[in-house]
Structures are given as C-alpha cells and as structure tokens.
Amino acid sequence: MDLFKDKVVWITGASSGIGEALLYRFVNLGARVVASSNQPEGLLRVKSNCGDRSSMVHIVPLDLADSDGFEKTAGQMVSEMGKIDYLINLGGVSQRATILETPLWLDRRIMEINYFGTIALSKAVLPHMIKNGGGHILATSSISGRFGFPLRSAYSASKQALHGFFETLHIENSRFNIRASVIIPGRVKTNISVNALTATGSEHGKLDPGQAKGITPEKAAQKIVKGIRRNRREILVGGSELLMLYIRKFFPSLFFNIAGKIKPE
C-alpha cells in the first residue's frame, strides 16, 4: 500500500502552480485532499479536473491574511475528514520592490501572509495531529529564504523566519511523532512573479525571465513528494540555481560578489 493511501493532506495555495500539481499527485496516490486558497474559482476548476476522483477533494477557501478563524476551520476539517495527516503550507506572496521604495505597511502585509498566516494554520492543526498520534507539517520557503536577493527584502525576511519556526516545531514535537519540513524552491514556472506585490501593493503583472526558465510545477511536485517519502527536513526544488545555496554557505564572499551583479527582475 502506498504511503499516502487514505491519508488526509491539506494543501494551501492549491488553486494553481505547485499546489495544484501536488493536489493531482496526491489524489492519484489515493489520498484525500483538503484544498485551500483565496481563489475559490480556481479551487473549483482544480477539483473538476480530478474527474471521477473529484470526491476526494474537499474545498476550503482560506485567506492567509486573515487568520482569526483558523482554529475553528481546523477543528471543522478534523471533524469532517476524521484527521489531518499532512499540512503543506504553499500559499504566499512574493515582492518586486526595493527597500527604499517599500512602505512599512507592505512589509507587514507580506509578513502577515507568508509568515503569520502559515504559522497560524500550523498552530491550529498541530494539537489535532498530536491527538491523532502524529503528522507532518511542511512550510514553503525559497532559495531567497536562505539569503538576500534584490527586490525581495520583505519576501526574503518572511521566508527566512519560517526556517526558525519550523525547525523549532520539529525539535519540540518530535516526541509526539510530529515531523516538520521546509520546502525550498528555486525557479519554478508558476505565477508567483505575476502575482508579486510592487511598492504600491499592486500586482507585478508579468512573468520574470528567470521564472519562465524554471522547472514545471509537475516536476516540483514530484520532487516534493519524493522528499516527504524520504522524510527530508529540507526539500530542495529547482535546477542549477540551487547551487547558490552552497555558494552562500561555503563561499560567502563569492556569493555577495555574484549577488551584487544580479540584474533585478
């Protein structure tokens, strides 16, 4: 029997990109999926795409910027689904603005969605997983969650914060059979740059050249599922750009030299 057969997997950001690709993969592996996003129409489309397996998808619209009701929502999901075995936090928003031009309210908004929204849902689900005897919670960072990058100051900060939280979550709760992992994508061909926020809070509205050359969401989903199977604490997803992680770690001076020459996009 497959590891994910009859498991319940809750995915945020499930209406497009990596989240959508992961939903299809888990459904095909026999899991029941709770699909969340702030785009209800997209969730309905994704559910419909599952065809005769659409009954395995349970839609729960969720806005990570408004986390006040997450505990209630988590309780309802456990009541309806019986349990939550995996929580995969994929929802979030990127940024395309320099520090000088980014107003503080925008820093706060990005942090609210990427960090506080993610940990709020994780905190809401965690007690139910412990009561059920275990579970696996994953957060989505970025390679720029490991180092700074032009036009991504708030985004980078929000993603770096997730590493500290989820490493602590794993250390504190491993005795309850709780696992925590961080997904670290590089370039994946999704709409993350299209939906990124500019200095005014409006959408960037275009696909960055680097993003366009990224791996497909389907390939990313394949790597993530493989990482979950192997119980990886960090799951690297991408292509040659992931080398920057090792350059930053082992050759910091070289990293800053390279980063300083990067043309912002």
Among candidate residues 24, 86, 115, 155, the one labeled active-site is 155
> What are the Cα distances from residue 35, in Å, to 24, 85, 131, 218, 243?
11, 14, 22, 17, 32
155 flagged as catalytic: yes
Two tokens, residue 31: 């899991």
- With CA atoms as reference, report the closest residue to 136 among 264, 253, 9, 43: 9
Is there a contact between 72 and 176 (Cβ–Cβ < 8 Å)?
no
Rounded to whole angstroms, the Cα distance separating 49 from 6 reads 20
CB burial class (10 A; 0-12, 13-18, 19+) of residue 230?
exposed
Two tokens, residue 54: 């659409």
Give the catalytic positions in this structure. 155
